[in-house]
Structure 1
Amino acid sequence: MVGTPVGILFDPDYAPVLCRCFFATSLLTGLLIIFCALLSVRVDGKSNWSWGVVFIPLWLLDAVLLFWLVPLAFRPSLTASGHSSGDKRSSKQARRARAARQRGIFVCIYLLLCFIFQLLIVLREDERITWSAAAIFFPYWILEAVNGLSNILSSIADIRTIPEVDPTTNAPMEGSKRRLLEAMVTVNAFWWWCIRVALAILVVLKIDGALSANWATVFTPAYLAGIRYILLFAVAGLRLRMKLEDPSGRGMAVVLVPVFIVLSMLFCCTCCCAPCLFCAQNLPADGLADEAINRLPVPVHRRIMYHPPGHTATV
């Protein structure tokens, strides 16, 4: 980036921040890869480790997120103060501080529920408790209830931002068009939430034996999500269904091949490629310029040159 027009506009103070982000992403991705590897080995019966050992990488990931996201969530957002008076500035700062507290509390509740859910899964699989799957998923239901409440508030705020006047015609917006926009906002806010909840309910019913349908039917919501996201959910759902219906068939490592590929590519980009690009900006530009000056010119007979019509080129 040194010596380029983009490099002039690039603030060098952002490089350490981006490098820290790349390091954190690499660490989280590496922990996910290790967890998927341990999970595949444990499910295939190639080790007799307890499920608590298998979930250690996931708990380390929770700890990293706790020490990284919680302080970031409680930090008020920074905006330009402009030329506002002291009262207005203090009011804005109070609103930002209140929003930061709400955001931080939400992140803490989210991480706590995720950890409790993982802990209950481990206790159930290690046969320390004999609760039903519906009881094991109780933290997940609370988490999705919080997500649903957040979606309701965000959709109401988005609906209120719909203008009363049609920007294309500068006329009052028709009722049918406004209702269509409101429906689109609502669907966009709740479609992924509905798919997650429906899939969790079907999985719980299947695990508890209250649903006699096969696993292909259970994973129907995952197929719908896969249609939108094209690949990941569809492939993972189909292969996981094959594994659950035929434990002697494909190994769990084969089921998680798409996950390994995606996480490995992300790990390579954030751990190797991107940091090298930002470290290259610290190279001495004068040395690069001297090297360019000392290069031998391209021979004349190898150059691409333009000759007018009727002119004979001589080499």
Structure 2
Amino acid sequence: MAMLHRALFTWFLLLVFLILLALRLDDRTKWNWFIVFFPMWFYDAILLVYISIHMINELRAAVSGTGNTHHRTLRQRAASLLQRVWPLLVVVLKMAFMVALCLKLENPSASISTYHVLLPLWILLTGLCGKVLHCLVLQHQYRYP
């Protein structure tokens, strides 16, 4: 799929989600919160498939590549693994947050604390801040050695 099509598809699903959210928050419908979040579930499912295919292709290329991967240090191997798994982890944490949020909104009387609902989001945002900081430090090191 071309970049323009992916962007348009993303914006369309976001628009549908925001319309469903506005209808639910204005009490025009009494739909289940999982139905309101369906466009985001659909988008995340497509994203998981895309990330999985991309990871499989990268691993296939690494296995059939030059063969000098055994000379890398443990730190380089861990960084490479984290770089491959990071997008998958982001989507899984986002989905965990959405499930917890839907459960909390659907059953206000349930004993799900707000802390537990927001925990995946906090982990995700902390990881994103760490990733941005790491990229900024690397950019600074390359620019000013």
Please indicate, yes or no, whether the TM-score normalized by the shorter chain is above 0.5. Answer: yes
Q: Which residue type is aligned with residue 159 of structure 1?
A: H
In the TM superposition, residue 74 of structure 1 has moved relative to its aligned partner by 5.2
**Per-residue deviation, 1:100:** 5.8
Residue aligning to 2:42: 60
Query: How far apart, CA to CA, are the structure 2 residues paired with 1:150 and 1:116?
Result: 20
Cα distance in 2 for partners of 1:74, 1:29 equals 27
Distance verdict in 2 for CA 1:27–1:163, change over 3 Å: closer
Residues 1:70 and 1:103: Cα distance change in structure 2 (over 3 Å) = farther
What is the deviation of 1:147? 1.7
Alpha-carbon distance, 1:55 to partner: 0.8
* 1:144, distance to aligned residue in structure 2 (A): 1.7
Identity %: 21
2:41 counterpart of 1:41: no
1:75-224 to structure 2, matched below 5 A, reads 75-76=57-58, 89-91=66-68, 101-127=81-107, 129-163=110-144
Matches within 5 A, 1:185-264: none
1:49 CA displacement? 0.7
Q: CA deviation at 1:160?
A: 1.9
Deviations 1:106-135 (A, max 9, x none): 111111000000011100110163333232
Aligned to 2:62: none
Q: How many residues align?
A: 133
The whole-number CA distance in structure 2 between the counterparts of 1:37 and 1:70 is: 30
How high is the TM-score relative to the length of structure 1? 0.37
Structure (1 or 2) with the greater helix fraction: 2
Q: For residue 66 of structure 1, what is the amino acid of its counterpart?
A: L
Q: Would the alpha carbon gap of residues 74 and 159 (structure 1) be closer, same or farther in structure 2, given more than 3 Å must change?
A: farther
- Map Cα deviations across residues 67-89 of structure 1 (whole Å, 9 max, x no partner): 1133225544xxxxxxxxxxxx5
Look up the equivalent residue of 1:154 and give its one-letter code: C
Q: Distance in 1 between matches of 2:81 and 2:52?
A: 10
Which sections of structure 1, spanning at least 5 residues, go unmatched?
1-16, 77-88, 165-315
| Structure having the higher Rg | 1
Whole-angstrom distance in 1 between the partners of 2:6 and 2:68: 34
Q: Please state how far the C-alpha of 1:146 moved relative to its aligned partner.
A: 1.5
2-structure distance, mates of 1:130, 1:37: 29
Q: Which runs of 5+ in 2 are unaligned?
A: 59-65
Q: In the aligned structure 1, how far is the partner of 2:9 from the partner of 2:143? A: 41
Distance between the aligned counterparts of 2:5 and 2:18, measured in 1?
Answer: 20
Matched residue SS, 2:30: coil
What root-mean-square deviation, in Å, do the aligned CA atoms of Structure 1 and Structure 2 show?
2.8
> Given the superposition, is the C-alpha separation of residues 158 and 49 from structure 1 closer, same or farther in structure 2, using an over 3 Å criterion?
same
